[in-house]
Amino acid sequence: QVQLVESGGGLVQAGGSLRLSCAASGSTFSDNVMGWYRQAPGKQREWVATQSSSGYTMYADSVKGRFTISRDNAKNTVYLQMNSLKPEDTADYYCKLVVGRNDYWGQGTQVTVSS
Q: What is the pLDDT along the chain (115 residues), one digit of tens a residue?
A: 789 999 999 999 999 999 999 999 877 666 788 999 999 999 999 999 999 888 899 999 999 999 999 999 888 899 999 999 999 999 999 999 988 888 999 999 999 999 9
**Nearest 5°: phi and psi at 33?**
-80, 140
pLDDT for residue 45 = 97
CA distance 111 to 29: 24
Q: Which residues are registered as beta bridge partners of 33?
A: 98
Spatial CA neighbour of 112 closest among 5, 19, 13:
13
Q: What angle do CA 75, 18, 10 make, to 5 degrees?
A: 105
